[in-house]
Amino acid sequence: MSDYTPPKVWEPKESGGKFASINRPVAGSTHEKTLPVGKHPFQLYSLATPNGVKATVMLEELLALGKDAEYDAWLIKIGDGDQFGSGFVEVNPNSKIPALMDHSADKPIRVFESGSILLHLAEKFGAFVPTDPAKRVETMSWLFWQMGSAPYLGGGFGHFYAYAPEKIEYAIDRFTMEAKRQLDVLDRRLAESRYLGGDEYTIADIATWSWYGQLALGRLYEAAEFLDVESYENVQRWAKEIDARPAVQRGRMVNRTFGEPETQLHERHGASDFDTKTQDKIGD
Ligand SMILES: N[C@@H](CCC(=O)N[C@@H](CS)C(=O)NCC(=O)O)C(=O)O
């Protein structure tokens, strides 16, 4: 048991753990840095974490449909504090990836929060969001479910299971309980429906797959066995089906700085980059 008693007024201190160096109790920029702007209508500033993958999968899916969604994907190294540069903070005052500038409108517009990016692109191109009102609202419900639930999985379970400087049984138990409950919520929905919104693949699936699908496929926190992810059979079926989509495979590679070199495309500025600019081809 901890002998910590919170003081009357909290003061910041060194907390340890994997992300200690980027944690701050205040918002705003720490340094001046202009963001690069490429030639395409969409400028994405991101990293291939589950939240970042949502945006790159969506853009690749739109391109696969033949939509005019060409984009430049610039790498934001959150471990180095790039999210606190002045240019990034102008696009996302919350200093988190992914952040998007849409230059296709008369006046460029900023879009932050991965759910907002998915919805903006879906509405702009009339794709991956149903038009039928009942299916649309079901899709929105699952999209917002994901946005509200994932912090318990990432900031809660993932943080205490994989990243905290010590293994705190209470915290791991609390968030494992919640992560498993969420997997069960999904498993029951996917027992009755091919996709989350119904019979169509939508932004709700893209958002949720990036977290829970990748968790089920054993790609997050090395926690597959601990969470017994194989037992969620409907989640497994859905996760594998989405994983096989070529646009999903491409989207996972963009802004990726970990894993096998041939799976890492640090920056994407055109479709041919997947064939010529992966880390195995260009190195560092
Ligand atoms: N609710 C946000 C969460 C984004 C988020 O948490 N991004 C993380 C990476 S997955 C980040 O940029 N962290 C950097 C930091 O916290 O300083 C979204 O969905 O876009």
Q: With 80 as the cut, is the pLDDT of residue 20 above it? A: no
Residue 51 CB less than 6 A away from ligand 1: yes
How far away, in angstroms, is 224 Cα from ligand 1 center? 23
Q: Quick one: which atom of ligand 1 is closest to the CA of 78?
A: 14
Summarize pLDDT for 155-188 with one digit per residue, the tens: 999 999 999 999 999 999 999 999 999 999 999 9
Query: DSSP assignment, residue 266?
Result: S
pLDDT, tens digit, 9 for 90 and up, residues 227-271:
999 999 999 999 999 999 999 999 999 999 999 999 999 999 999
pLDDT tens string 120-143: 999 999 999 999 999 999 999 999
pLDDT band at 88 (very low <50, low <70, confident <90, very high): very high
Which pLDDT score, from 0 to 100, does residue 284 have? 63
| Residue 205 · residue 240 · CB < 8 Å | no
Among 44, 97, 145, the mutation site with the greatest number of ligand 1 atoms within 8 A of its Cβ is 97
Atom 11 of ligand 1: nearest residue by CA position:
96
Query: How confident is the model over 36-87, as pLDDT tens digits?
Result: 999 999 999 999 999 999 999 999 999 999 999 999 999 999 999 999 999 9
User: Which ligand 1 atom is nearest residue 22's CA?
Assistant: 17
64 lines ligand 1 (CB under 6 A): no
Q: What is the pLDDT of residue 5?
A: 94
CA distance 284 to 280: 9
Task: State whether the beta carbon of 264 lies less than 6 angstroms from ligand 1.
Answer: no
Confidence bin at 1 (pLDDT 50/70/90) = low
* pLDDT surpasses 90 at 283: no
Element (H, E) at 44: strand 42-46
Sequence-separated contacts (24+) of 229-233 with Cβ below 8 Å: 229/183, 232/183, 232/184, 232/186, 232/187, 233/187
Sheet-wide strand order for 99-102: 71-75, 42-46, 99-102, 109-112
Query: Which residue in 52, 56, 109 sits closest to 83, CA to CA?
Result: 52
Q: Which domains does the chain have, with CATH numbers?
A: 13-128+254-284 (3.40.30.10), 133-245 (1.20.1050.10)
The answer to whether 133 touches 101, Cβ cutoff 8 Å, is: no
User: CA distances (Å), 36 to each of 39, 68, 85, in order?
Assistant: 10, 21, 12
